């Protein structure tokens, strides 16, 4: 699906100018969680199952990687280098996408989370990075991963390789196009299922998913404040600044005539706790709640914290009984195995 035109939203979304490598099988399902909705007092909680994307264990980053890999392959790259934290899901999925396309992959991973226990260091995503054939560079938490990645890319180029460097979280404007496409996908599905969502709730890490959705909705003529994000990485003001900037740049790629209003980027900071990758009680409760009521697995770093935000918003009366709320399940299941001790 590259062009979406629909009576429900005023403007078409045309991404056909941008190179894209298909990594998803098609739209991910939107499902009602009936037992959880009852538990939360009658708000209808729906999930968009972006955790069900197939490659490399699945997750939201495959949407960005469709456009990032498209750009890399169009440029003739045979090697991809990206950055992230030691347990980065984006790094794992970049390794998977590279393996599938026959590209070499190098991951520059920092100890951004202050842990050095075995399960964090060696299990979860890092185990999968190794199985997927990526070379991992292990850097301290204070290191500038992108600078290291760029220097490494130069080294590889000097050896004759053609290298594509992908930023944190895959959240360049090109990567964010993946979630602009998802905005159209959600509206199309909502219309087909006869649903209207009061809010779409997501985690905000590097901000790319939020920026892409915001740009997509703005391009489609829908107010991007439909998206309510919980920051899990940066402090609220920083997350807002990054997301607003990325959303604007992404929208420029789609329709330079349009602008994002500052007030349409909505980010809350109450779920960050002690910082990125640091467990909170609300996250633990949310992960257990969704698992035990619906058999679905959130992750401890991103979706667990955002879902905690959703449950607290419901309990504080922010959503009313009968309203439909959509939560994007972003994947990240391998992270649970690095967080055994948190549960």
Ligand X SMILES: Cc1ncc(COP(=O)(O)O)c(C=O)c1O
| Spatial CB neighbours of 2, under 8 Å, sequence gap ≥ 6 | 14, 15, 16, 20, 181
Q: How far is CA 240 from CA 110, 228, 229, 257, 310, in A?
A: 23, 12, 10, 22, 19
Stretch that binds ligand X, among 66-74, 97-105, 279-287, 325-333 (CB under 6 A): 325-333
Q: Which of residues 73-92 bind ligand X (CB under 6 A)?
A: 89-90
State the binding string over 256-275 for ligand X (x if CB under 6 A, else -).
--------------------
> Measured from the CB atom, is 182 or 191 closer to ligand X?
182
> Measured from the CB atom, is 30 or 201 closer to ligand X?
201
Residue nearest to ligand X (CB): 332
The token pair at 295 is: 């058999």
Cβ contact 340:117 at 8 Å: no
DSSP string, 134-190: -EEEEE-TTS-HHHHHHHHHHHHHHTT--EEEE-GGG-SHHHHHHHHHHHHHHHHHH
Greatest Cα pair distance, the chain, in angstroms, is: 61
Query: Smallest distance from the beta carbon of 162 to ligand X, in angstroms?
Result: 26
Query: Smallest distance from the beta carbon of 15 to ligand X, in angstroms?
Result: 18
Strand extents, DSSP E, the chain: 3-6, 9-14, 30-32, 44-49, 79-85, 104-110, 135-139, 163-166, 199-204, 227-231, 266-268, 324-329
Give me the catalytic one of 16, 37, 88, 341.
Answer: 88
Does residue 332 touch ligand X according to CB under 6 A? yes
Does residue 303 touch ligand X according to CB under 6 A? yes
Query: Smallest distance from the beta carbon of 193 to ligand X, in angstroms?
Result: 24
Does residue 60 touch ligand X according to CB under 6 A? yes
Does residue 299 touch ligand X according to CB under 6 A? yes
Query: Smallest distance from the beta carbon of 106 to ligand X, in angstroms?
Result: 18
State the binding string over 7-36 for ligand X (x if CB under 6 A, else -).
------------------------------
Cα–Cα distance measured from residue 88 to residue 69, given in angstroms and rounded to the nearest whole number = 18
Query: Smallest distance from the beta carbon of 164 to ligand X, in angstroms?
Result: 19
Sign of the alpha-carbon torsion through 315, 319, 325, 328: negative
Stretch that binds ligand X, among 73-81, 157-165, 250-258, 297-305 (CB under 6 A): 297-305
Query: Smallest distance from the beta carbon of 92 to ligand X, in angstroms?
Result: 9
State the binding string over 183-222 for ligand X (x if CB under 6 A, else -).
--------------------xxxxxxxx------------
**233-263 burial: b if 16+ Cβ within 10 Å, else e:** bbebeebbebbbebbbbbbebbbeeeebeee
Query: Smallest distance from the beta carbon of 157 to ligand X, in angstroms?
Result: 27
How many positions of this chain bind ligand X (CB under 6 A)? 20
Does residue 173 touch ligand X according to CB under 6 A? no
Active site residue 88: yes
The residues assigned a catalytic role are 88
- Enumerate binding residues for ligand X (CB under 6 A): 59-60, 89-90, 169, 171, 203-210, 299, 302-303, 330-332
């Amino acid at each position: 699906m590259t062009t979406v035109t629909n009576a429900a939203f005023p403007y078409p979304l045309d991404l056909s100018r941008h190179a894209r490598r298909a990594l998803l099988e098609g739209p991910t399902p939107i499902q009602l969680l009936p037992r959880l909705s009852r538990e939360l007092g009658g708000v209808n909680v729906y999930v968009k199952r972006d955790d069900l994307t197939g490659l490399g264990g699945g997750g939201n980053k495959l949407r960005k990687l469709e456009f990032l890999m498209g750009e890399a392959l169009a440029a003739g790259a045979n090697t991809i280098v990206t950055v992230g934290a030691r347990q980065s899901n984006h790094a794992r999925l970049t390794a998977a996408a590279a393996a599938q396309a026959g590209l070499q992959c190098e991951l520059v991973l920092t100890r951004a989370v202050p842990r050095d226990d075995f399960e964090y260091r060696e299990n979860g995503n890092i185990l999968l990075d190794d199985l997927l054939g990526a070379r991992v560079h292990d850097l301290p938490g204070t290191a500038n991963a992108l600078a290291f990645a760029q220097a490494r890319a130069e080294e590889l180029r000097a050896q004759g390789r053609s290298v594509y460097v992908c930023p944190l979280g895959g959240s360049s404007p090109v990567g964010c196009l993946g979630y602009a496409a998802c905005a159209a996908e959600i509206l199309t599905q909502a219309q087909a299922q006869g649903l209207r969502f009061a809010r779409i709730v997501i985690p905000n890490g590097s901000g790319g998913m939020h920026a892409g959705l915001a740009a997509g909705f703005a391009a489609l003529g829908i107010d991007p404040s439909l998206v309510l994000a919980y920051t899990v990485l940066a402090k609220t003001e920083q997350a807002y600044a990054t997301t607003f900037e990325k959303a604007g740049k992404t929208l420029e790629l789609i329709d330079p005539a349009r602008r994002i209003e500052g007030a349409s980027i909505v980010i809350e900071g109450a779920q960050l706790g002690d910082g990125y990758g640091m467990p909170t009680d609300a996250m633990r409760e949310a992960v257990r709640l969704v698992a035990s009521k619906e058999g679905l697995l959130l992750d401890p770093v991103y979706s667990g914290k955002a879902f905690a935000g959703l449950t607290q918003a419901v309990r504080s009366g922010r959503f009313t009984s009968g309203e439909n709320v959509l939560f994007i399940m972003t994947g990240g299941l391998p992270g649970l195995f690095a967080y055994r001790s948190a549960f």
